[in-house]
Amino acid sequence: MISVIQRVSQARVEVGGLTVGEIGRGLLVLVCAERGDTEAQADKLLAKLLKLRIFGDEAGKMNRSVQDVKGGLLLVSQFTLAADTSGGNRPSFTGAAAPDEGRRLYDYFVANARAAHPDVATGEFAADMQVHLVNDGPVTIPLRVL
């Protein structure tokens, strides 16, 4: 699975002008299931995400996790993270999991995140979403688990 993690002071997702997910301080996570990904990879990504020390401590050093700071998680499905642009100017998305499998793994990831963390919001799978965020830092980290 591949993801892009952004430390935010606030973020929200709108679908059709309505807010479907919103957090204050925390992590906006764009997440993509790729062909061949498994639940074990989703579990590994979630474990890494919850422990990733990218929030400041008293000295201003990135030494705290989203769990340590009691931050929110906003999980947004983003199949375009699997884009392959090596063959020209139009991206290919053949590396992304098929829609049914992508939804299954995304739903699995969200369910496990909600079981492990008290503040989890989401976008809407396969919807045309508008993502609003205030990137804190800015801190943006790509993360792929194999």
pLDDT for 103 equals 98
Q: Is 67 a catalytic residue?
A: no
Q: Report the CATH architecture of 2-144.
A: 3-Layer(bba) Sandwich (3.50)
Distances (CA, A) of 19 to 8, 25, 36: 17, 17, 32
Task: Give the mean pLDDT of 86-109.
Answer: 97
Q: What is the pLDDT of residues 28-72, one digit of tens each?
A: 999 999 999 999 999 999 999 999 999 999 999 999 999 999 999
Task: Give the mean pLDDT of 88-117.
Answer: 97
What SS3 class is residue 78? Answer: coil
Q: Is 85 a catalytic residue?
A: no
Tally of CB atoms within 10 A around 127: 14
Catalytic residue among 6, 41, 55, 78: 78
pLDDT for 22 equals 98
Q: Is 80 a catalytic residue?
A: yes
